[in-house]
Structure 1
Amino acid sequence: MNNQGHALCGIAGAIYPLTYVSNQTDPIHGALAAIACLAGSLAPDALEIPIPIKKDKKTIGHRRLLRHRGWTHITIVWITLFLLSSLAISGALTYSINSWLLASTVGFTFGGILHVLGDMPNTHKVPLFTPWDGYCLNLFKSGRYQKSQAILILLGSWLLVHNNIFPDALLTNS
């Protein structure tokens, strides 16, 4: 998936952190979480730190400081950070962290999860626990069916919200 596809998925999935954080705090915090979701959906690739390759003072390409789909794409890290920040903003975990920081972290990490989900259907592996393991669904080449994936993410996010499937609800309903 390219940046446009990841951005579409970040926008499509923003309803989830928007609703969750708004329910825990207020709509302004929820809006911040939604904006952070878009940023988070672009983050795994941006955090690889592109470095321009120059020839005769002209940029001819980019290389990455970190390998693509390596450290920045580890699925369990994004999920863990999302769950911890979600439980902290709900009060289920007692941390004295600024609510604005928590709201943005909830949205940002949910966007990171959406990024990884967007990369999963194609032919290149996405790390699960370490940069050296990985999984892929091998359904199609990267960059294809991005709008369809965004629609599926919108539908999935809406279903999660509609059915009240949030981290703190899962903790209290067990």
Structure 2
Amino acid sequence: MCFVRKLIEQLMKFGIVGVVAFVIDYGLMNLLLAFHLHNILASTVSFLISLAFNYVASMKFVFKHRPDMARWMEILIFVGASVVGLFINEVIIYISTFGMNHDAMITQHTEYMIRTNIGKLVATAVVMVWNFVIRKWLLDDTHTNAMNRLRSGDKKLTPEQLEAKWERSFSHRLGLWSLDHTPDGWPK
């Protein structure tokens, strides 16, 4: 039951950070749309600004720094996952206004904003799931043991088996590789 409570706590922290990032993203996008900026450009600017907040808050409150991974690798994973998230975001927003006039941001402004906002809501949900899964897999150091806690008593792995599984995991090997390849003077 402790695992479930910790997972719920982590999801709540992730959710709170996500809500604040969403308010930044959504609010700034709508402000830029009000000034007739193209929806793809407006959503890109707002996404990138909310991303900066999301990185700082996520690494401070949601995910723990892993001692087996260099900071630069954490940032690279976060940015890589965010680039994919940005692409997903932009495709969904593009689809939301597909078929409208090329000058819809001016001539059909209300419909353009409504359709963009609906697309943004859908994109936010899809990107949130993507971000949680990829960050949980690559940035959180507890995922191997967490899955073991879900197993019934006789099927749980021993501490030695868990350690061996962790040693073989992609996440751990990537982390160790990043430590070995960290330039002198960079924080580990």
Is the structural similarity TM-score above 0.5?
no
| Greater helix share, structure number | 2
TM-score, structure 1 normalization = 0.33
| Greater strand share, structure number | 1
TM-score, structure 2 normalization = 0.31
- Structure with the greater relative contact order (CA < 8 A, sep ≥ 6): 1 or 2? 1
Larger-Rg structure: 2
